[in-house]
Amino acid sequence: MNTPVHTLSPYQRSLLSLKRAFKRGALALLLLVAPLTWGQSPSISGTLGAVGSDTMAGLMLRWGETLTARYPDVKLQFQASGSASAPTALVAGTTRLGPMSRPMNTEERGNFIERYGYPPLELKVARDALIVVVHRHNPLRALTRQQVDAIFSTTRTCGADAPIRRWDQLPSTQDWAFGRIALHGRNLASGTHGLFQKRALCGGLFRNDISEHPGSSAVVAAVGESANAMGYAGFNHLTPAVHAVSLYNDNGTAIPPGETAIQRGDYPLSRYLYLYVNLPPGEALPAPEQALLTLIMSEEGQQIARASGFVPLAQDVLNAQKALSSN
């Protein structure tokens, strides 16, 4: 039972005051040293710069808007000029953050290491997929990798016997009376272009009559407007004007590009989306950059990825990226 304060001696009251002050001080110290988690709001200010993937433009801007809503003095400026621009900007020192829809290649990584003496921090931030799309009324439902290669390439490196140029060369579209296949794809600066070439064409060469577009949304729009069209694009740009064909895996099973198949990597053209960070070993990121990474790796950040048409990371992958981004 506590003794009423008014019955305490002056000496006892002094001790009680000191005890209360100590508790308040200890609580303040605890709050001061507690690690920052998404949802806390210390004073953070600054402008973040990022250069890279146009596929990730909407996602980066949504993450930036959410960050600014939490920290009003933090702004994200993003230049969407294609994945190929990210390594160049990182090496030049014009940005610390480089979003890419494909992994850096050996040459890009080597240029960074030559410039700084250490590799960039590579973070997986979401899942995505490359999809092959046709007009919504097209009866085509599935393709093998060899067929995709025979349609889009001149080299047929994946093993097809002959090129495919017309709809009547495919069994399911022999009665699709639209003649030649009109192809649409991405431009050379795009990570989607490079990854499709590497994985769907087995490293072969694109046909030179493919209409190239600066963004996946333009590819999808073009295919949706033409019954004889086919194109490749990012999964998050899928619209009712087109439908994505399933792709056969190595076991002969046609896999549609659904969220579960993409997250697990079962869909043959699943891919990660990356954020490359210039972080010297042993150093901490500035507070605004660290706050962005904390958001991206949070449940809220991953749900923003889903709302943007991408696929959240599997929990084990997310945990590994959290460990990397907090070191």
280 Cα distance to chain centroid:
23
Cα–Cα–Cα angle for 220, 212, 199, rounded to 5 degrees: 80
Q: How far is CA 279 from CA 4, 138, 184, 320, in A?
A: 58, 48, 38, 17
Q: How many CB atoms lie within 10 A of CB 309?
A: 15
Residue 234's closest CA among 127, 103, 144, 114? 127
Burial of 7 (0-12, 13-18, 19+ CB in 10 A): exposed
Query: What values do phi and psi take at 321, rounded to 5?
Result: -70, -35
Q: What is the pLDDT of residues 164-186, one digit of tens each?
A: 999 999 999 988 888 999 999 99
For residue 189, the model assigns a pLDDT of 82
Beta strands 46-52 and 74-80 are parallel
Q: Which 8-state DSSP code applies to residue 166? A: B
For residue 42, the model assigns a pLDDT of 60
Would you state the torsion angle of the CA atoms of residues 58, 64, 65, 71, taken in this order, to the nearest 10 degrees? 170
For residue 221, the model assigns a pLDDT of 97
Helix (H, G, I), strand (E, B) or coil at 269: coil
Q: How many CB atoms lie within 10 A of CB 203?
A: 12
- pLDDT tens digits in sequence order for the chain, 327 residues long: 454 444 445 444 444 443 454 344 433 323 232 334 555 556 799 999 999 998 999 999 999 999 999 999 999 999 999 999 999 999 999 999 999 999 999 999 999 999 999 999 999 999 999 999 999 999 999 999 999 999 999 999 999 999 999 999 999 998 888 899 999 999 988 889 999 999 999 999 999 999 999 889 999 999 999 999 999 999 999 999 999 999 999 999 999 999 999 999 999 999 999 999 999 999 999 999 999 999 999 999 999 999 999 999 999 999 999 999 876
The DSSP bridge partners found for residue 271 are: 128
How far apart are the C-alpha atoms of 280 and 91, rounded to whole Å? 13
How far apart are the C-alpha atoms of 279 and 121, rounded to whole Å? 6
Would you state the torsion angle of the CA atoms of residues 138, 251, 253, 272, taken in this order, to the nearest 10 degrees? -80
How far apart are the C-alpha atoms of 94 and 97, rounded to whole Å? 9
DSSP 30-61: HHHHSPP-BTB-----EEEEEEE-STTHHHHH
Instruction: Name the amino acid, one letter, at 250.
Output: D
Q: What is the mean pLDDT of the chain?
A: 89
How far apart are the C-alpha atoms of 165 and 149, rounded to whole Å? 11
Q: Which 8-state DSSP code applies to residue 214? A: S
For residue 39, the model assigns a pLDDT of 55
The domains of the chain, with CATH numbers, are 46-127+273-326 (3.40.190.10), 128-270 (3.40.190.10)
For residue 43, the model assigns a pLDDT of 79
For residue 301, the model assigns a pLDDT of 97
For residue 175, the model assigns a pLDDT of 87
Cα–Cα–Cα angle for 157, 173, 217, rounded to 5 degrees: 70
In sign, the C-alpha dihedral spanning 314, 317, 319, 324 is: negative
Cβ atoms 149, 201 nearer than 8 A: yes
